[in-house]
């Protein structure tokens, strides 16, 4: 089973002809609310690929929080360790979607950044009996360090999705069994511009030198590359599909990996191939959560 320590957002999608000018009042062309947050997306991806998933996080005492808990439960995710924060709202992402197709996004992190040390301590028994714990950077880094320490001490594998891109303290990298940066995040972590096989290997090696055991780089329409602890490496090309909306591709990849990797990572090749197939399905549909496939859809040919 998988524990996700992560973010929960309501995505508020505002459809506009164009961005308003300073001082201008404009009418919206459309308005939609959808579930989001990297943690929630990854948890749903893992659950749809048949994992038992437990979520550790925070929402506000508001309608969005209720909506998100219901959404997670609908996919069978255990929400016992999602706390309701009395003082902060559920995380919100305002997605300004213009006619041109361009996106501008405003995020109010809300309750996600108020996850407390006590929340992680309360989930200790869950973390210690998990196969793997997954975290991303929309929650406080110190909480991830605390949770990964517990996991490491109990022999539970740790997966760090270092998104959104930010610098990472070495002490977190040393607690990470598998890191999964995209190209932008890999460059942020290594100062290596990742755009060919040599730079992929060099970036992965540098991450290993900083203490990470295994590295998987996600490369968008190029697929993925991995380098393991015992120096196995492989470039896995992406499926040739017509991408309509890549929102949620990375999250599908990580959630599916977490669901399919054996605790000792001895099936990394199969797990990467599965995640690559799953995320190629996500990019062919609009939105994040609605486009995350089930295991049945991934394995159907």
* 268 is a site residue for ligand ADP (CB under 6 A): no
* 276 is a site residue for ligand ADP (CB under 6 A): yes
> Sign of dihedral through CA atoms 250, 12, 66, 81?
positive
* 246 is a site residue for ligand ADP (CB under 6 A): yes
* 234 is a site residue for ligand ADP (CB under 6 A): no
CB 261 within 8 A of CB 132: yes
Report, in Å, the least distance between residue 113 CB and ligand ADP.
Answer: 20
> Sign of dihedral through CA atoms 240, 187, 113, 53?
positive
Query: Could you say which of 17, 26, 105, 241 contacts ligand ADP (CB under 6 A)?
Result: 241
239 burial class (0-12, 13-18, 19+ CB within 10 angstroms)? Answer: middle
CB 6 within 8 A of CB 57: yes
70 burial class (0-12, 13-18, 19+ CB within 10 angstroms)? Answer: exposed
16 burial class (0-12, 13-18, 19+ CB within 10 angstroms)? Answer: middle
Report, in Å, the least distance between residue 38 CB and ligand ADP.
Answer: 9
Report, in Å, the least distance between residue 277 CB and ligand ADP.
Answer: 8
- Residues 119, 122, 251, 266: which is the catalytic one? 251
Give 6 or 223: the residue with its C-beta nearer to ligand ADP: 223
Beta bridge partners of 94: 12, 106
CA distance 15 to 30: 5
Interface with ligand ADP in residues 130-189 (CB under 6 A): 163, 182
Binding part of the chain for ligand ADP, among 13-21, 127-135, 190-198, 239-247 by CB under 6 A, reads: 239-247
Give the C-alpha distances (Å, rounded to integers) separating 148 from 110, 123, 141: 23, 12, 10
Report, in Å, the least distance between residue 30 CB and ligand ADP.
Answer: 24
Query: Could you say which of 139, 279, 288, 289 contacts ligand ADP (CB under 6 A)?
Result: 279
CB 138 within 8 A of CB 40: no
Beta bridge partners of 227: 215, 233
* 225 is a site residue for ligand ADP (CB under 6 A): no
Give 78 or 218: the residue with its C-beta nearer to ligand ADP: 218
Report, in Å, the least distance between residue 228 CB and ligand ADP.
Answer: 17
Interface with ligand ADP in residues 201-220 (CB under 6 A): 218-220
* 239 is a site residue for ligand ADP (CB under 6 A): yes
* 224 is a site residue for ligand ADP (CB under 6 A): yes
Give 135 or 249: the residue with its C-beta nearer to ligand ADP: 249
CA distance 227 to 216: 7
CA distance 14 to 28: 7
Is residue 170 part of the annotated active site? The answer reads no
Residue closest to ligand ADP (Cβ): 250
Q: Which residues bind ligand ADP (CB under 6 A)?
A: 163, 182, 218-221, 223-224, 238-239, 241, 243, 246, 249-250, 253, 276, 279-280, 283
Active site residues per annotation:
251
């Amino acid at each position: 089973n998988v524990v996700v320590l992560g973010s929960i957002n309501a995505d508020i999608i505002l459809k506009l002809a164009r961005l308003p000018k300073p001082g201008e009042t404009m009418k919206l062309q459309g308005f939609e609310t959808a579930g989001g947050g990297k943690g929630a997306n990854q948890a749903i991806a893992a659950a749809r690929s048949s994992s038992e998933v437990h979520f550790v996080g925070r929402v506000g005492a508001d309608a969005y929080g209720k909506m998100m808990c219901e959404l997670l439960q609908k996919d069978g995710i255990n929400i016992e360790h999602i706390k309701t924060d009395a003082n902060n709202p559920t995380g919100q992402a305002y997605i300004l979607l213009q006619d041109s197709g361009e996106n501008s996004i405003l995020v109010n992190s809300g309750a996600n950044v108020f996850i407390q040390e006590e929340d992680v301590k309360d989930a200790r028994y869950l973390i210690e009996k998990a196969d793997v714990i997954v975290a991303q950077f929309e929650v406080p880094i110190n909480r991830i360090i605390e949770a990964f320490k517990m996991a490491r001490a109990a022999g539970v594998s740790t997966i760090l999705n270092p998104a959104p891109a930010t610098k990472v303290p070495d002490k977190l990298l040393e607690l990470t069994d598998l890191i999964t940066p995209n190209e932008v995040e890999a460059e942020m972590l290594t100062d290596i511009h990742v755009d060919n096989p040599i730079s992929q290997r060099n970036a992965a090696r540098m991450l290993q030198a900083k203490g990470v055991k295994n590295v998987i780089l996600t490369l968008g329409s190029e697929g993925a590359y991995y380098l393991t602890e015992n120096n196995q490496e492989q470039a896995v090309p992406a499926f040739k599909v017509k991408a309509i909306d890549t929102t949620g591709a990375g999250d599908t990849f990580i959630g599916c990996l977490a669901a399919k990797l054996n605790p000792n990572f001895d099936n990394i090749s199969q797990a990467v191939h599965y995640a690559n197939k799953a995320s190629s399905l996500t990019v062919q549909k609009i939105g994040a959560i609605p486009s995350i496939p089930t295991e049945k859809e991934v394995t159907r040919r």
